[in-house]
Amino acid sequence: MATYPTKRLRRLRYSPLVRDMVRETVLTKNDLIYPLFVVPGKNVKKEVRSMPGVFQMSIDTVVEECKEVEKLGIPAVILFGIPDHKDEVGSGAYDPNGIIQQAVRTIKAEVKKLLVITDVCLCEYTSHGHCGVLHGENILNDETVSLLAKESVSHAEAGADIIAPSDMMDGRVSAIRKALDYKGFSHIPILSYAVKYASGFYGPFRDAAESAPAFGDRRSHQMDIANSDEALREAESDIEEGADMIMVKPAGAYLDIIWRVKEKFGMPTAAYQVSGEYAMIKAAGKNNWIDEERVMIESLIAIKRAGADMILTYFAKEVARYLDKNK
């Protein structure tokens, strides 16, 4: 094996063209999934306080947004809904005329080249902000799972292309798979939030989705941030239950988990660069403490380098514009 001075690793860094030639990881538009928050009303476009550039939008505005996303060449959006009324059992989540069901129908009718993924959970729809049906202060797993299956079917009936359960209840992937198959949606893939940590990085999302729990937290179902072997068990059970794609969330502080999950299972793997990751980069960028565009790209390249095949990111539109500009 050659050693210095024969071997000089700097040779492959001496010009931009050489660096381009040996680059291992590239970010493309096909990697991007853009999250959108749908609210009731008309002509609504309200910026989320803690997420500059991210808006709550009514269906008409979301449709316009989706047309822009399609034009930018981003292949997919994921929808979150904020209903006009919330109740104990989150009935807005599986109402055939709920906010998401209406949004999906309208988008699918008006925007042709865009995958519409729906987030399946109850937390945006329950009056207490928890991800399931409660008994006292406990979330009932199996009762919740039945409602999630119902929610998934209603999304598929509205025209959703991919179903993405984010609740972290046990057994929900198999229940959703069975329900979808029974109703004639055996062709609709499931992207499961297989490895979702109980993370402080979700803070701004709870402003955006108005889904903060009224009491307690989500530690009885989301994973302990200190665990890594357990992530493999979570991923394995979702794959066994029929998940077509799996997700790790958050992304930036969990690159080791993305790596392990991808190495072990070789599944199509998504990573969610969550609201807090976005908010931190935006805030530091606005203060001119960091070069926002550069850090945005660096954060996403790192996630891909760790093994992610796709990234859910609030930066999707900015990245698409960046890629157009830097072709």
The residues annotated as belonging to the active site are 196, 249
Q: Cα dist. 320→92, 123, 164, 324 in Å?
A: 33, 31, 23, 6
295 CB-side CA count, 13 A = 16
Is there binding between residue 274 and ligand PBG (CB under 6 A)?
A: yes
Q: How far is the CB of 253 from ligand PBG (least distance, A)?
A: 12
Query: Could you give the C-alpha distances from 122 to 99, 109, 127, 149, 209, in angstroms and in order?
Result: 13, 26, 10, 11, 11
Contacting residue, 61, 106, 275, 299, with ligand PBG by CB under 6 A: 275
Smallest distance, Å, CB 38 to ligand PBG? 13
| Touching ligand PBG, residues 285-324 (CB under 6 A) | none
CA–CA dist 278, 203 (Å, integer): 11
Give min distance, CB of 119 to ligand PBG, in A. 5
Nearest residue to 93 (alpha-carbon basis) of 133, 66, 34, 136? 133
Residues between 196 and 235 with contacts to ligand PBG, criterion CB under 6 A:
202, 205, 218
Contact pattern for ligand PBG over residues 131 through 170, marking x by CB under 6 A: -----------------------------------x----
In the bound state with ligand PBG, the residue whose beta carbon lies nearer, of 184 and 200, is 200
Question: Smallest distance, Å, CB 117 to ligand PBG?
Answer: 12
Map residue 43 onto helix, strand or coil: coil
Q: How far is the CB of 202 from ligand PBG (least distance, A)?
A: 4
Residue 196 Cβ vs ligand PBG, minimum distance, rounded to whole Å: 7
Note whether 37 binds ligand PBG by CB under 6 A.
Answer: no
Name which of 67 and 141 has its Cβ closer to ligand PBG: 141
How many chain residues bind ligand PBG (CB under 6 A)? Answer: 9
**Smallest distance, ligand PBG to C-beta of residue 275, A:** 3
Q: Which residues contact 289 (CB under 8 A, 6 or more apart)?
A: none
Contact 292/58 with Cβ under 8 angstroms?
Answer: no
Name 196's bridge partners.
Answer: 249
27, with CB counted inside 10 A (0-12, 13-18, 19+), is: middle
The percent of the chain in helix, strand and coil, each rounded to the nearest 5, is 45, 20, 35
Q: Which is nearer to ligand PBG, 51 or 107 (CB)?
A: 51
Which tokens belong to 28? 């493309």
CA distance 83 to 126: 10
Q: In the bound complex, which residue of the shown chain has the CB atom lying closest to ligand PBG?
A: 205
Strand, coil or helix: what is 142? helix
Beta carbon nearer to ligand PBG, 104 or 123: 123
Map the footprint of ligand PBG across residues 79-138, applying CB under 6 A: 119, 121, 123
Q: Which residues, 6+ apart, have CB-to-CB distance to 12 below 8 Å?
A: 18, 19, 22
Task: For ligand PBG, give the closer residue by CB, 1 or 138.
Answer: 138
The verdict on 34 binding ligand PBG (CB under 6 A) reads no
**Between residues 185 and 201, which has the closer beta carbon with respect to ligand PBG?**
201
Distance CA 110, CA 107 (A): 5
Q: Which is nearer to ligand PBG, 275 or 299 (by Cβ)?
A: 275
Interface ranges with ligand PBG (CB under 6 A): 119, 121, 123, 166, 202, 205, 218, 274-275
